[in-house]
Structure 1
Amino acid sequence: MFSQFALHERLLKAVAELNFVEPTPVQTAAIPLALEGHDLRVTAQTGSGKTAAFVLPMLNRLMGPAKVRVDIRAVILLPTRELAQQTLKEVERFSQFTFIKAGLITGGEDFKVQAAMLRKVPDILIGTPGRLLEQLNAGNLDLKQVELLVLDEADRMLDMGFAEDVERLAGECANRQQTMLFSATTGGSGLREMIGKVLKDPQHLQVNSVSELAPGTRQQIITADHNVHKEQVLNWLLANETYQKAIIFTNTRAMADRIYGRLVALEYKAFVLHGDKDQKDRKLAIDRLKQGGVKILVATDVAARGLDVDGLDMVINFDMPRTGDDYVHRIGRTGRAGGEGLAISLITHGDWNLMSSIERYLKQKFERRTIKEVKGTYTGPKKVKASGKAVGVKKKKTDGKGDKKGDKKKAVTKGPTKRKSVNRPGAESLVSQDGMAPLKKRVTRPPVAE
């Protein structure tokens, strides 16, 4: 029960109003420590309730009587507009019975309108690093009195090249008393370096390991011969799988547009989302998906984070993501909050090694699946015999005399032959089949040019 936490009664009222009964594991682990004022570094899977784990303690810290706001007191940094908008909605839901106000600063919106909002001084400022820095450099933003800083999806911000921007903004919040860093993956050396710079004696909470991500999601692979075959498999899945809503991920905008066009031609209710779309179109795509106006969203990794849609129960990787972390965030769009989901990756010859490396990273083995109606010829790498030679029609090497290596029968020359032999200086003597005495080298003259 949320009543176990030392939260203000108005926050508990909001939690009850939203029908939140049992806290999730990350909330149970993080909220008490956050209420005590500790710096936190938290790793928890997508859809596990991370947002509430830092929003509730933040609001509790800012609670008090209504008064004129003169300083921004808390900042939440996030990698994408979509995630920032989602977080703003969560803050507004939990603060509905308080006097706390939040503001949003992201790219794609009118710069002057945002500057006007900043002059009203929200208690909590939510935004993406790039646009916040632009407002800071323009003299519209003062972060000197910030008490609490949250870095959400910190690993993704590093992936997107925001490391210096985040460090600059953290430096502007020099008087902060608490910092919390959340991510869905453990990240690499860059994340460890950031933790060392922005956190002070943090409590480390790893609610789950990477291999435990998305426990309610079945993860499958289907092999395909090429991209056209992938499209055939995709069409079969969309026509035959049972799902409420689905996301199809691609690695490029061009492929996303291509698939979207084909789905529209087949009269599917679909939308496309990628970096070339302006903020209005991106917001429309997500709203239509959430409201059920469309059933399928085709997207690049811009939608892999911050997208929380009820009923989204199937994810298809048309292109395999480039890293294990990207894979985790893609499939994290389904199977959220303990629900069930299906994640399917379409694998050609060029995708196999990448898929295998992601399996090793996750310490998981994806379920292999075959659809007989659209079965292709490619089923994965050729199996290897005990001798170490791959199965197939690969031509065997010869020993220079026209005999296959390893043949027990020695070559017998009957009469003159036109076969050319090359005697390489320094070549080792051939060993007879019984492994004892070496065979004599055959010495021939260089072939005469015709």
Structure 2
Amino acid sequence: MQGSVVVMMMMMAVSGAHVLSADEAEGEIWAVLVAGSFGWLNYRHQADVCHAYQILHSHGVPDDHIIVMMVDDIAYNRANPTPGKIINRPDGPDVYEGVPKDYTGNDVTPENFMKILKGDADGLRDVGSGKVLKSGPKDRVFVNLVDHGAPDIFGFPKSFLHARNLSDTILAMHRNRQYKEMLVYLESCESGSMYKYLPDDIGVYALSASNASQPSFACYNDLHLHTFLGDVFSVKWMEDTDRNNPKETLKQQFLKVRREVNTSHVLQWGEKSLASQKVSKFLGSSSDEGDDYGPFLPIRDPCLNSSVSSEDVPLATLQSHLDNATEQDDIDYWNQQISELQQNRTLVEDTMRKLVERVTGDVEVSEQLMTDRHHTSTRHDCYADSLNAFHSRCFNLGTNPYALRVVYVMVNLCEHGYTAKEFDGATSVLCNYPPIHGIN
């Protein structure tokens, strides 16, 4: 077989045909890694992204081909007992060392993310490192997004990315021949909704941590750090990659991760035939044996046994503080923190209820719309405009993550024929208070 290949190449050379080198045939690997949150309670999002970087780096993908977006307020956070270190599993290795600080702080925005993907270097001049994708038609691109989410949106520190804008950006990349094939792994609540506009014939294969109406789940509740270290879907695909060094195909990884993630429905999207490709085509390869995580059987899986839904993380974290408090002053303090958390969440829910009642003029109909979660958004402009009104007037969806838990009600309003203009009018009357931040 090898001899026939050599003969064929010689014949092509004699005939004047161009013989592809290995580099020309395979192209290069590029990656964009995004943690869209901030704050110690969201430690896990930056830990996930840092771990993803370590996988790519250790598998030979050069740093100038890896672009990282994260606020970068965890490693040296005053709550961190080991300054300069981030871990993604209990007693795990530091995943922060060497991570490129391409876009941090206020530079972590959906607009900058889309410019990075489109290769818009002029648009990012004097912003962060200025790095953008310089991939071409022979290259493979890996995109990893980790944060909070809601129907059709993915969170950023002060705003959010629409599903339609994500797909439009990928379509522009395809049109401009910026990749041969692309892999997207997205971790957030309702993450399946982010792929609703993704075509299945443009060389993009994608996984979501959950379907379009489910939360994603956090895991590894560290009682020393008092935060969750990872997200179940992210932990599962990365620890699988660490163990398998990535010799398996994308389909094999999907099936394994889908089986192990019993907290939500991991789904595949896009051009599913690409699942026959090796994971190494997108994440690089290494001759190392990989990390030994041990045989995690479901009955004693340390990730799954510590998992909670993303929206329950703040309460679970405060409860762990309370459970470990021994002095009465500390007990009183953590009880007060829990009470304030619940009061703030009630404020969000009550505000949405009042908005719906003002739009519908009917308490009974309003209660139905508040409890019904099965609708899929089809009236896209209505939903998008309503979201913008709620985000700009009532609760910033980046700085108040719990507000993401009630935006499904706007989907319901739109699907029942109410208009964005009616909802906008309600927000202008009822959301006349100073900006509120930090409702988790």
- TM-score normalised by structure 2 residue count: 0.30
Q: Name whichever structure is richer in helix by fraction.
A: 2
Q: Which has the larger radius of gyration?
A: 1
